[in-house]
Amino acid sequence: MTPIVPMFASTVVAATPLIYAALGETIVEKAGVLNLGIEGMMLIGAVAGFAATLATGSDTVGFLAAAGAGVALSLAFGFLSLNLQTNQVATGLALTLFGLGLSAFVGHNLAGTPLPPLPSITIPVLTGIPVIGDLFFHYDIMVYLSLVLFAGVQWFVTRSHAGLTLRAIGESPTVAHAIGKPVLTTRYLAVMFGGACAGIAGAYLSLVQTPMWVEGMSAGKGWIALALVVFGTWKPTRVVLGAYLFGGVTQFQLFAQGFGLPIPTEFLSMLPYAATIIVLVIICRDPKTILLNQPASLGISFHAAA
């Protein structure tokens, strides 16, 4: 058996939660809001999705509950940072800590309960093709939906009228407000979308990747998603490529170890982070690229009365 197929499959499964979380955050940041609470929302999503699936036996309900929990937590962030205009960085960090604690508290009695994994779907004809079928057509439904989400976000940001409004608000909320665009409402919707995506990303961990709930199971993936948005220069295509790259290099370093390459394992563990940063820095080697792509009002509170 060629090891390429399982390696590729592992990469896809590792990258999928990053894609959900990072695409959600891309929309949030495009609206000019910096929500550092992805990790917290992922954990809340993970525990909510796990509990809902355990109670109902339905994965769909689980993912919906996860999205709902992510939205609920993001609304708390929205109220504090958009209405009360608290510092977004501090509020986002607080959200992560809060989500970590709350999910541990809520999930106290769920730890150690097993759950059957989400079945992979079979597509008639396509799944049957040798190699190609194994490579691309034997994943769970959420993997394909993440690509649908990517296409949707890409279309929304670059092609739609509403996406244009979103970007305008992220660049200059004052001007957008002056020409009658609903700044607060749009930002709220963006924050909620980010919350839903982070919640689903969390549920992907607790329902698909390792179907179980344990405290702190996201193990820093929310922060990686956050970094992917910046290094992907707020472009959905680069964000998704970055997620696959990160998942792929993580897989490669484990693979290299299995072959017994004489490289220090600490160095190999560092590799996914280093490689992702290097590649994305090369993509935007002109230092202006990040500055030009970054929404101009990112992280700055907007006060409508001005």
Partner 1 sequence: MRTPRGNSDQQFYLEHKKGSVMKLSTKWKSLSFCLAAGFIATSSSAFAEPLKVAFVYLGPVKDGGWTQMHDEARQKLEKAMGDKIKTTYVENVPETADSERVFRQLAADGNKLIFATSFGYMEPLQKVGKVFPNVKFEHVNGFKTAPNIVVYEPRFEEGFYLIGTIAGQMTKSNTLGFIGSFPIPSVMRNIDSMTLGALVVNPKVQMKPIWVNTWYDPGKERQAAETLIAQGVDNVAQNTDSPASIQVAQEKGTYAFSIDADMSSFGPKGQLTGTTEDWSGYYIAETKKVLDGTWTGERHTRWGLKEGMVVMAPLNPAIPPAAVKVFEDTKAKIISGELKPFVGPISDTTGAVKVAAGSALTDADPAFNSVNWYVKGIDGSPPH
Handedness of CA 205, 215, 218, 254 (dihedral sign): negative
Closest approach of partner 1 to the CB of residue 89, in Å: 24
Only one of the segments 128-136, 175-183, 208-216, 288-296 lies at the binding site for partner 1 (rule: CB under 8 A); that segment is 208-216
Q: Which of 239, 214, 195, 229 is nearest to 40 (CA)?
A: 195
Closest approach of partner 1 to the CB of residue 24, in Å: 19
Out of 88, 154, 209, 297, the only residue in the binding site for partner 1 (CB under 8 A) is: 209
Q: Which of 100, 268, 81, 279 is nearest to 192 (CA)?
A: 81
Confirm or reject binding of residue 112 to partner 1 (CB under 8 A): yes
x-marked contacts with partner 1 along 13-32 as a string, rule CB under 8 A: xx--x---------------
Confirm or reject binding of residue 56 to partner 1 (CB under 8 A): no
Could you tell me if 208 and 117 are in contact, meaning their C-beta atoms sit under 8 angstroms apart? yes
**Interior CA angle at 59 toward 56 and 62, to 5°?**
70
Amino acid at 121: I
Maximal C-alpha separation, the chain: 66
Confirm or reject binding of residue 103 to partner 1 (CB under 8 A): no
Amino acid at 258: G
> What whole-number distance in Å separates Cα of residue 75 and Cα of residue 126?
41
Choice between 166 and 224, CB closer to partner 1? 224
How many residues make contact with partner 1 (CB under 8 A)?
43
Sites of contact with partner 1 (CB under 8 A) = 1, 3, 6-7, 9-10, 13-14, 17, 104, 108-109, 111-114, 117, 205, 209-212, 214-217, 219, 221, 250-251, 254-255, 257-262, 264-266, 268-269
